[in-house]
Amino acid sequence: MPRHLLALRTMSRDDLTGLIERAANYRTAGAKSEQPLGGLVVANVFFEPSTRTRASFEVAAAHSGAHVLNWTVQGSSASKGESLIDTVKNIAALGPAVMVIRHFASGAAELVARQVKCAIVNAGDGCHEHPSQGLLDAFTLVRRWGSLVGKRVLIVGDILHSRVARSNIYALRTLGAQVSVAGPPWLLPQWIAGMGVDICRGGDAAQTHALFEAALEQADAVMMLRVQRERQQGSDFPSAEAYHQLWGLTRERARRLKAETVILHPGPVNRGLELAPDVADSHRSIILEQVENGVAMRRAILEWTL
Ligand code: CP
Protein backbone atom coordinates (compact mmCIF):
# COMPACT_ATOMS: atom_id res chain seq x y z
CA MET A 1 0.00 0.00 0.00
CA PRO A 2 1.38 3.47 -0.84
CA ARG A 3 1.84 5.94 1.99
CA HIS A 4 0.82 9.57 1.66
CA LEU A 5 2.94 12.46 2.96
CA LEU A 6 0.30 15.07 3.72
CA ALA A 7 1.54 16.82 6.86
CA LEU A 8 4.21 16.73 9.57
CA ARG A 9 1.75 17.41 12.41
CA THR A 10 1.23 13.71 13.03
CA MET A 11 4.76 12.49 12.29
CA SER A 12 6.62 10.82 15.13
CA ARG A 13 10.23 11.41 16.09
CA ASP A 14 11.07 7.96 14.65
CA ASP A 15 9.38 8.79 11.32
CA LEU A 16 11.30 12.06 11.05
CA THR A 17 14.60 10.50 12.08
CA GLY A 18 14.15 7.63 9.63
CA LEU A 19 13.60 10.04 6.73
CA ILE A 20 16.56 12.19 7.80
CA GLU A 21 18.84 9.14 7.97
CA ARG A 22 17.69 7.99 4.55
CA ALA A 23 18.29 11.48 3.12
CA ALA A 24 21.76 11.52 4.71
CA ASN A 25 22.59 8.26 2.92
CA TYR A 26 21.46 9.71 -0.41
CA ARG A 27 23.44 12.91 0.26
CA THR A 28 26.58 10.84 0.78
CA ALA A 29 25.97 8.40 -2.08
CA GLY A 30 25.06 11.10 -4.63
CA ALA A 31 23.14 10.75 -7.88
CA LYS A 32 24.36 7.32 -8.89
CA SER A 33 23.20 5.36 -5.83
CA GLU A 34 20.29 2.88 -5.73
CA GLN A 35 17.33 3.45 -8.04
CA PRO A 36 14.38 2.16 -6.00
CA LEU A 37 11.88 3.89 -8.32
CA GLY A 38 13.23 2.24 -11.47
CA GLY A 39 10.54 2.07 -14.17
CA LEU A 40 7.94 3.97 -12.10
CA VAL A 41 6.33 7.32 -12.92
CA VAL A 42 6.27 10.32 -10.57
CA ALA A 43 3.70 12.98 -11.53
CA ASN A 44 4.38 16.57 -10.47
CA VAL A 45 1.00 18.35 -10.39
CA PHE A 46 1.44 22.03 -9.60
CA PHE A 47 -1.53 24.39 -9.42
CA GLU A 48 0.75 27.13 -8.02
CA PRO A 49 4.13 28.37 -9.27
CA SER A 50 7.30 26.72 -7.99
CA THR A 51 11.00 26.74 -8.78
CA ARG A 52 12.66 24.75 -5.99
CA THR A 53 10.04 22.16 -5.01
CA ARG A 54 9.05 21.07 -8.50
CA ALA A 55 12.60 20.98 -9.85
CA SER A 56 13.84 19.24 -6.72
CA PHE A 57 11.21 16.48 -6.94
CA GLU A 58 12.02 16.13 -10.64
CA VAL A 59 15.75 15.69 -9.98
CA ALA A 60 15.08 13.43 -6.99
CA ALA A 61 12.76 11.20 -9.03
CA ALA A 62 15.25 11.02 -11.91
CA HIS A 63 18.12 10.09 -9.55
CA SER A 64 15.93 7.31 -8.14
CA GLY A 65 15.22 5.92 -11.60
CA ALA A 66 11.66 7.21 -12.14
CA HIS A 67 10.16 8.86 -15.20
CA VAL A 68 8.71 12.29 -14.41
CA LEU A 69 5.45 13.73 -15.70
CA ASN A 70 5.35 17.50 -15.12
CA TRP A 71 1.90 19.12 -15.12
CA THR A 72 1.21 22.83 -14.59
CA VAL A 73 -1.96 24.87 -15.01
CA GLN A 74 -0.55 26.81 -17.94
CA GLY A 75 -1.10 24.85 -21.12
CA SER A 76 -3.37 22.30 -19.42
CA SER A 77 -7.13 21.79 -19.53
CA ALA A 78 -7.39 23.34 -16.04
CA SER A 79 -7.04 26.63 -17.91
CA LYS A 80 -10.23 25.60 -19.78
CA GLY A 81 -12.04 25.04 -16.48
CA GLU A 82 -11.33 21.35 -15.68
CA SER A 83 -11.68 20.83 -11.92
CA LEU A 84 -9.01 19.74 -9.43
CA ILE A 85 -10.64 16.34 -8.93
CA ASP A 86 -11.14 15.66 -12.65
CA THR A 87 -7.55 16.72 -13.31
CA VAL A 88 -6.00 14.43 -10.69
CA LYS A 89 -8.25 11.48 -11.58
CA ASN A 90 -7.16 11.75 -15.21
CA ILE A 91 -3.48 12.03 -14.29
CA ALA A 92 -3.87 9.09 -11.90
CA ALA A 93 -5.33 7.07 -14.81
CA LEU A 94 -1.93 7.44 -16.53
CA GLY A 95 -0.51 5.22 -13.80
CA PRO A 96 1.94 7.23 -11.67
CA ALA A 97 3.22 5.55 -8.51
CA VAL A 98 3.43 8.91 -6.75
CA MET A 99 1.66 12.21 -7.35
CA VAL A 100 3.37 15.30 -5.92
CA ILE A 101 0.74 18.01 -5.65
CA ARG A 102 0.79 21.74 -4.90
CA HIS A 103 -2.48 23.64 -4.63
CA PHE A 104 -3.62 27.01 -3.31
CA ALA A 105 -6.34 25.49 -1.09
CA SER A 106 -5.52 24.18 2.39
CA GLY A 107 -6.53 20.53 2.55
CA ALA A 108 -6.29 19.94 -1.22
CA ALA A 109 -3.65 17.20 -0.92
CA GLU A 110 -5.75 15.27 1.60
CA LEU A 111 -8.83 15.61 -0.61
CA VAL A 112 -6.89 14.26 -3.60
CA ALA A 113 -5.52 11.36 -1.51
CA ARG A 114 -9.13 10.19 -1.00
CA GLN A 115 -9.79 10.20 -4.75
CA VAL A 116 -6.82 8.34 -6.26
CA LYS A 117 -4.94 5.09 -5.63
CA CYS A 118 -1.34 6.33 -5.97
CA ALA A 119 0.73 7.83 -3.15
CA ILE A 120 0.22 11.57 -2.63
CA VAL A 121 2.97 13.94 -1.52
CA ASN A 122 1.82 17.38 -0.40
CA ALA A 123 4.12 19.94 -2.03
CA GLY A 124 2.31 22.82 -0.31
CA ASP A 125 -1.44 23.30 0.25
CA GLY A 126 -2.56 26.87 0.83
CA CYS A 127 -1.49 28.12 4.26
CA HIS A 128 -1.63 24.61 5.76
CA GLU A 129 1.62 22.60 5.37
CA HIS A 130 4.69 22.10 3.19
CA PRO A 131 6.03 18.84 4.65
CA SER A 132 8.94 18.25 2.26
CA GLN A 133 10.23 21.77 3.05
CA GLY A 134 9.93 21.15 6.80
CA LEU A 135 11.79 17.87 6.39
CA LEU A 136 14.60 19.30 4.29
CA ASP A 137 15.04 22.20 6.72
CA ALA A 138 15.21 19.81 9.68
CA PHE A 139 17.66 17.63 7.72
CA THR A 140 19.83 20.67 6.95
CA LEU A 141 20.06 21.59 10.64
CA VAL A 142 20.59 18.00 11.83
CA ARG A 143 23.37 17.60 9.26
CA ARG A 144 25.03 20.75 10.63
CA TRP A 145 24.50 20.24 14.35
CA GLY A 146 24.11 16.47 14.78
CA SER A 147 21.06 16.97 17.02
CA LEU A 148 18.39 19.66 17.39
CA VAL A 149 17.89 19.05 21.12
CA GLY A 150 18.06 22.38 22.96
CA LYS A 151 18.84 24.39 19.82
CA ARG A 152 17.02 27.70 19.43
CA VAL A 153 15.37 28.37 16.08
CA LEU A 154 13.71 31.75 15.49
CA ILE A 155 11.14 31.96 12.66
CA VAL A 156 10.47 35.52 11.49
CA GLY A 157 7.89 37.22 9.30
CA ASP A 158 4.64 36.21 7.64
CA ILE A 159 3.66 33.39 10.00
CA LEU A 160 -0.06 33.77 9.17
CA HIS A 161 0.26 32.58 5.57
CA SER A 162 3.24 30.28 5.99
CA ARG A 163 2.81 26.56 5.39
CA VAL A 164 6.60 26.40 5.73
CA ALA A 165 6.45 27.78 9.28
CA ARG A 166 3.79 25.28 10.31
CA SER A 167 5.63 22.25 8.94
CA ASN A 168 8.91 23.46 10.43
CA ILE A 169 7.40 24.07 13.85
CA TYR A 170 6.01 20.50 13.94
CA ALA A 171 9.28 18.91 12.78
CA LEU A 172 11.72 21.06 14.76
CA ARG A 173 9.80 20.72 18.03
CA THR A 174 9.37 16.97 17.62
CA LEU A 175 13.15 16.72 17.18
CA GLY A 176 13.79 18.72 20.38
CA ALA A 177 14.44 22.29 19.20
CA GLN A 178 13.08 25.35 21.02
CA VAL A 179 11.17 27.38 18.44
CA SER A 180 10.33 31.09 18.71
CA VAL A 181 8.32 33.20 16.29
CA ALA A 182 8.40 36.92 15.58
CA GLY A 183 6.63 39.14 13.10
CA PRO A 184 4.20 42.01 12.65
CA PRO A 185 1.11 41.61 14.86
CA TRP A 186 -1.19 41.33 11.82
CA LEU A 187 0.87 38.39 10.54
CA LEU A 188 0.95 36.51 13.88
CA PRO A 189 -2.25 34.42 13.97
CA GLN A 190 -4.09 33.47 17.16
CA TRP A 191 -3.52 29.74 16.50
CA ILE A 192 0.24 30.14 16.90
CA ALA A 193 -0.31 30.21 20.69
CA GLY A 194 -1.33 26.54 20.53
CA MET A 195 1.80 25.33 18.75
CA GLY A 196 4.21 25.23 21.69
CA VAL A 197 6.41 28.08 20.50
CA ASP A 198 7.68 31.20 22.24
CA ILE A 199 6.05 34.29 20.75
CA CYS A 200 7.85 37.64 20.59
CA ARG A 201 4.80 39.65 21.59
CA GLY A 202 4.90 42.41 24.23
CA GLY A 203 2.32 44.84 25.58
CA ASP A 204 3.25 47.46 22.97
CA ALA A 205 5.37 47.84 19.84
CA ALA A 206 8.53 48.76 21.77
CA GLN A 207 8.29 45.68 24.03
CA THR A 208 7.55 43.45 21.05
CA HIS A 209 10.62 44.74 19.26
CA ALA A 210 12.79 44.29 22.33
CA LEU A 211 11.67 40.64 22.50
CA PHE A 212 12.43 40.21 18.78
CA GLU A 213 15.94 41.69 19.14
CA ALA A 214 16.64 39.51 22.21
CA ALA A 215 15.43 36.36 20.40
CA LEU A 216 17.70 37.17 17.44
CA GLU A 217 20.70 37.44 19.74
CA GLN A 218 19.96 34.04 21.35
CA ALA A 219 19.07 32.11 18.18
CA ASP A 220 21.22 29.32 16.78
CA ALA A 221 19.30 29.54 13.49
CA VAL A 222 17.12 32.30 12.09
CA MET A 223 14.55 31.26 9.49
CA MET A 224 13.27 34.24 7.52
CA LEU A 225 9.93 33.74 5.77
CA ARG A 226 8.88 35.13 2.45
CA VAL A 227 6.26 37.87 2.74
CA GLN A 228 3.37 36.36 0.77
CA ARG A 229 1.94 39.50 -0.82
CA GLU A 230 -0.22 37.37 -3.14
CA ARG A 231 -2.21 36.13 -0.09
CA GLN A 232 -2.69 39.65 1.38
CA GLN A 233 -4.71 41.41 -1.29
CA GLY A 234 -6.21 44.63 0.00
CA SER A 235 -4.29 44.72 3.30
CA ASP A 236 -2.52 47.88 4.42
CA PHE A 237 1.02 46.68 3.92
CA PRO A 238 3.78 49.15 4.86
CA SER A 239 6.43 50.13 2.32
CA ALA A 240 9.15 47.55 1.61
CA GLU A 241 11.68 49.79 3.35
CA ALA A 242 9.48 50.19 6.45
CA TYR A 243 8.88 46.42 6.65
CA HIS A 244 12.59 45.75 6.20
CA GLN A 245 13.57 48.15 8.99
CA LEU A 246 10.92 46.77 11.38
CA TRP A 247 10.98 43.03 10.66
CA GLY A 248 13.70 42.31 8.11
CA LEU A 249 17.09 40.78 8.77
CA THR A 250 19.02 43.96 8.13
CA ARG A 251 22.79 44.15 7.94
CA GLU A 252 22.80 45.65 11.48
CA ARG A 253 20.65 42.87 12.93
CA ALA A 254 22.77 40.21 11.23
CA ARG A 255 25.88 41.73 12.83
CA ARG A 256 24.41 41.14 16.29
CA LEU A 257 23.79 37.41 15.76
CA LYS A 258 26.02 34.90 17.56
CA ALA A 259 29.16 34.02 15.56
CA GLU A 260 27.91 30.54 14.57
CA THR A 261 24.25 31.42 13.91
CA VAL A 262 22.97 30.38 10.49
CA ILE A 263 20.26 31.95 8.33
CA LEU A 264 17.67 29.92 6.45
CA HIS A 265 14.98 30.94 3.96
CA PRO A 266 12.70 28.58 2.01
CA GLY A 267 12.79 30.83 -1.07
CA PRO A 268 12.00 32.67 -3.15
CA VAL A 269 13.74 35.52 -1.29
CA ASN A 270 12.33 39.04 -1.54
CA ARG A 271 15.68 40.79 -1.38
CA GLY A 272 15.50 44.04 0.57
CA LEU A 273 12.20 43.03 2.19
CA GLU A 274 12.70 40.13 4.59
CA LEU A 275 16.45 39.83 3.97
CA ALA A 276 19.13 42.42 3.15
CA PRO A 277 20.75 41.28 -0.13
CA ASP A 278 24.25 40.97 1.30
CA VAL A 279 22.92 39.07 4.34
CA ALA A 280 21.23 36.61 1.96
CA ASP A 281 24.62 36.07 0.29
CA SER A 282 26.73 36.11 3.48
CA HIS A 283 28.70 33.25 5.03
CA ARG A 284 25.86 32.75 7.53
CA SER A 285 23.32 32.01 4.80
CA ILE A 286 22.65 28.31 4.19
CA ILE A 287 19.86 28.94 1.71
CA LEU A 288 21.51 27.08 -1.17
CA GLU A 289 22.51 24.26 1.19
CA GLN A 290 18.78 23.87 1.92
CA VAL A 291 18.15 23.51 -1.81
CA GLU A 292 20.96 20.95 -2.22
CA ASN A 293 19.71 18.93 0.74
CA GLY A 294 16.19 19.08 -0.69
CA VAL A 295 17.06 16.64 -3.47
CA ALA A 296 18.32 13.98 -1.04
CA MET A 297 15.33 14.49 1.25
CA ARG A 298 12.87 14.23 -1.63
CA ARG A 299 14.50 10.99 -2.77
CA ALA A 300 13.96 9.71 0.77
CA ILE A 301 10.33 10.90 0.70
CA LEU A 302 9.55 9.28 -2.68
CA GLU A 303 11.03 5.99 -1.50
CA TRP A 304 9.17 6.21 1.83
CA THR A 305 5.79 6.58 0.08
CA LEU A 306 6.31 3.25 -1.68
N1 CP B 1 10.40 26.66 -0.93
C2 CP B 1 9.53 26.58 -1.95
O3 CP B 1 8.44 26.01 -1.81
O4 CP B 1 9.96 27.19 -3.10
P5 CP B 1 9.18 27.09 -4.49
O6 CP B 1 7.90 27.87 -4.35
O7 CP B 1 10.11 27.68 -5.51
O8 CP B 1 8.88 25.65 -4.73
Summarised one tens digit per residue, pLDDT across range 243-284 is 999 999 999 999 999 999 999 999 999 999 999 999 999 999
Residue of the CA atom closest to atom 5 of ligand 1: 50
What is the mean pLDDT of the segment spanning 21-37?
Answer: 89
Cβ(50) to ligand 1 under 6 A? yes
The pLDDT value recorded for residue 249 is 98
Cβ(122) to ligand 1 under 6 A? no
Answer yes or no: is pLDDT of 305 > 90.
yes
Q: What is this structure's pTM?
A: 0.96
Counting Cα atoms < 13 Å in the Cβ hemisphere of 28 gives: 6
Percent of the chain with pLDDT over 70: 98
- Distance, CA 52 to ligand 1 centroid (Å)? 5
Cβ(51) to ligand 1 under 6 A? yes
- Distance, CA 125 to ligand 1 centroid (Å)? 12
- Distance, CA 206 to ligand 1 centroid (Å)? 33
For residue 76, which of 88, 62, 92, 58 has the smallest C-alpha distance?
88
- Distance, CA 38 to ligand 1 centroid (Å)? 26
pLDDT band at 231 (very low <50, low <70, confident <90, very high): low
Cβ(53) to ligand 1 under 6 A? yes
How would DSSP label each residue in the chain? ----B--STT--HHHHHHHHHHHHHHHHH-TTS--TTTT-EEEEEESS--SHHHHHHHHHHHHTT-EEEEEESTTSGGGGT--HHHHHHHHHTT--SEEEEEESSTTHHHHHHTT-SSEEEEEEETTTB-HHHHHHHHHHHHHHHS--TT-EEEEES--TT-HHHHHHHHHHHHTT-EEEEE--GGGS-GGGGGGT-EE---SSHHHHHHHHHHHHHH-SEEEEPPP-GGG-TT-----HHHHHHHHSB-HHHHHTS-TT-EEE--S---BTTTB-HHHHTSTTB-HHHHHHHHHHHHHHHHHHH-
Look at phi and psi of residue 122 and say left if phi exceeds 0, alpha if psi is from -120 to 50, else beta: beta
